[in-house]
Amino acid sequence: MEYHPAPFGDGNTPTPIPVAERLPGEGDCDAEGRCWQEDEGTSCDPPAWILVHRVRIIERARGRFLPFYALPLPAAPGEGA
């Protein structure tokens, strides 16, 4: 799993979709069937977005998700600009 800090309201952040409103569909997922799911965090860990397979989001049936393209993945060392 890949973890990224949760975005805060800066006017340019995507709007998370409540799972209770709708489940992630084909267009929300990357070629591997993954999209972002909000991890509410714990008393020790801040909220974060986790790139997980849509089946896990559907099984969990709570929280919020974002389409895979909503948050950029950091480039691996030696990749990109």
CA distance 66 to 36: 5
Domain-located, residue 78: no
State residue 10's pLDDT score.
56
Tell me the sheet residues that pair with 55. Answer: none
Q: Which residue range(s) make up the domain with 31?
A: 2-70
Look at the chain and report how many structural domains it folds into.
1
Domain-located, residue 62: yes
pLDDT, tens digit, for every residue of 20-79? 999 998 899 999 999 999 887 777 877 788 899 999 998 988 889 999 988 877 666 766
16/8: higher pLDDT: 16
Domain-located, residue 79: no
State residue 44's pLDDT score.
82
- In one-letter notation, the amino acid at residue 25 is G
